[in-house]
Amino acid sequence: MTHLWIRSESRPNEERVGLTPEGVKALRAKGIAVTVEESPHRVLPLEEFTAAGAEVAPEGAWPDAPPEAIVFGLKELPEDGTPLRHRHIMFGHAFKRQTGWDGFLRRFGEGGGALYDLEYLVDKDNRRVAAFGFWAGYAGAAVSALAWAAQARGEVCGPVSTWKDAEALQDEVRAALSDAPQASALVIGALGRVGSGAQKLCEQVGIPVTGWDMAETAHGGPFPEVLEHELFFNCILAMPGVPVFVPADAGGRVRRLGVIGDIACDPTSDYNPVPVYDAATSWEAPVVRVHDAPPLDVMAIDNLPSLLPLESSLDFAAQLLPHLLTLDRIEGGVWGAARTTFDEHLKEAMA
Active site residues: 75, 93
Residue type, 22: E
The residues facing 119 across adjacent strands are none
Helix 309-324 to helix 133-152 angle, to the nearest 10 degrees? Answer: 170
* Beta carbons of 231 and 258 less than 8 angstroms apart: yes
- CA proximity to 285, closest of 152, 149, 160: 160
3-state SS string over 156-204? CCCCCCCCCCHHHHHHHHHHHHCCCCCCCEEEECCCCHHHHHHHHHHHH
How many Å from the N-terminal Cα to the C-terminal Cα in the chain? 34
Rounded to 5°, the CA angle 94-99-100 comes to 70
Own/partner pairs, 165-173, CB within 8 angstroms, 24+ separation: 165/308, 165/310, 165/311, 166/138, 166/308, 166/311, 169/139, 169/142, 169/307, 169/308, 170/142, 170/201, 170/204, 170/205, 172/142, 172/146, 173/142, 173/145, 173/146, 173/149, 173/201, 173/205
* Beta carbons of 80 and 14 less than 8 angstroms apart: no
Give CA–CA dist 286/301, Å, rounded: 7
Handedness of CA 125, 126, 130, 136 (dihedral sign): negative
Main-chain dihedrals φ then ψ at residue 225, nearest 5 degrees? -60, -30
